């Protein structure tokens, strides 16, 4: 009896091509990582009451510096700046009435985001 007619005989097949890796899309506030769980993060959209010039940028950077274990950044019109850098914040060019996204990551991110949003809301 030929091997091809025996239902118990394995028929060699072409090796399977490996599937393309799946990449998960993650928001900036919750980066994807295979090795570690995502750090808790919080995102707020804030409409600035005043231009983001030296004084409000300095107050925001000082407040970020006092928060332990938390990182924060602002996003405006597709650009991002670390909230601990006065010059980076000013370089965003955010003006009164512009909406900016505040992204805070780390333990206590929600409370930190609230405190930082308050600093931005009080800008003059």
* pTM metric for this prediction: 0.67
Kindly report the average pLDDT of the chain as a whole number: 78
* Structural domain spans, the chain: 39-124
CATH architecture of 39-124: 2-Layer Sandwich (3.30)
**pLDDT reported for residue 19:** 39
- Residue 70's pLDDT band, with cuts at 50, 70 and 90, is very high
**84 within 8 A of 61, measured Cβ to Cβ:** yes
**pLDDT reported for residue 101:** 96
Query: CA 41 to CA 53: how far, in whole Å?
Result: 26
Instruction: Kindly report, residue by residue over 19-61, the tens digit of the pLDDT.
Output: 333 333 334 443 333 334 445 689 999 999 999 999 999 999 9
Task: Summarize the confidence of residues 99-107 as an average pLDDT.
Answer: 96
């Amino acid at each position: 009896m030929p091997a091809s007619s025996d239902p118990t005989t394995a028929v060699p097949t072409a090796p399977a091509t490996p599937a393309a890796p799946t990449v998960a899309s993650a928001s900036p506030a919750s980066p994807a990582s295979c090795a570690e769980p995502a750090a808790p993060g919080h995102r707020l959209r804030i409409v600035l009451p005043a231009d983001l010039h030296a004084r409000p940028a300095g107050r925001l950077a000082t407040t970020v510096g006092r928060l332990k274990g938390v990182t924060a950044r602002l996003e405006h019109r597709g650009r991002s700046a670390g909230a601990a850098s006065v010059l980076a914040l000013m370089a965003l060019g955010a003006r009164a009435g512009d909406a900016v996204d505040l992204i805070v990551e780390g333990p206590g991110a929600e409370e930190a985001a609230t405190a930082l949003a308050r600093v931005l809301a009080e800008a003059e």
